Amino acid sequence: MTRIKICGLVRKQDIDAVNIAMPDYVGFVFAKSKRQVDEGRAKLLKACLNPSIKAVGVFVNEDIRTIIKLCCSDVIDVIQLHGDEDDVYIRKLKSSVPNRIIKAIRVKDQDDIKKAMHLSCDYLLLDAYHEGQYGGTGRSFDWSVIENVSKPFFLAGGINCSNIAQAIEMHKPFCIDVSSGVETDGYKDPRKIIDIVARVRQT
């Protein structure tokens, strides 16, 4: 069964909504973003989160020591690397903490996915490539390039209630990653969160 991650939570209301909807993962963005949270805010949000939902920390070229600290203090359960981190970086992280690692790949074509297959991460996250941006644009890429992906992957970028069933049925990702697709006027919308999680469970 495909899982779902609701990314970019910043408010207590967001946590209340996911505790009702019960996605598999939520994302706290520590990288520079309009959805950025610091350690203190993430700690408060995690304390209110249903323990069965895993908290993913999203980082862009972060100091490894910062990530290790957040893992060891149980602020995050899973690590998502969304920058230029290479396999040396990933291996160093894996030797330091037991937390699973997601490596985001900004996909221009099928070669980008093929090159990422050798990485030591536990999961890939396939997102749209946009010049000068590391992700979080809310735009999708050409899903037809997703073929023969042997590593479990998260599918991100422009996914919402109108195309989520197609994404799951056509490409069978390990997990769907949604952020702006469950927002209204730039804020997480509880009704959209509950609706999209229900759609994933039904597909």
Q: Would residue 72 show up in a list of annotated catalytic residues for this protein?
A: no
Active-site residue (options: 7, 71, 121, 175): 7
Of the residues 14, 127, 175, 177, only one is catalytic, namely 127
109 an active-site residue? no
- Distance in angstroms (rounded) separating the CA atoms of residues 147 and 53: 29
Q: How far apart are CA 158 and CA 70, in angstroms?
A: 29
**Is there a contact between 87 and 116 (Cβ–Cβ < 8 Å)?**
no
* Structural contact between residues 129 and 141, judged by C-beta atoms closer than 8 angstroms: yes
Residues tagged active-site: 7, 127
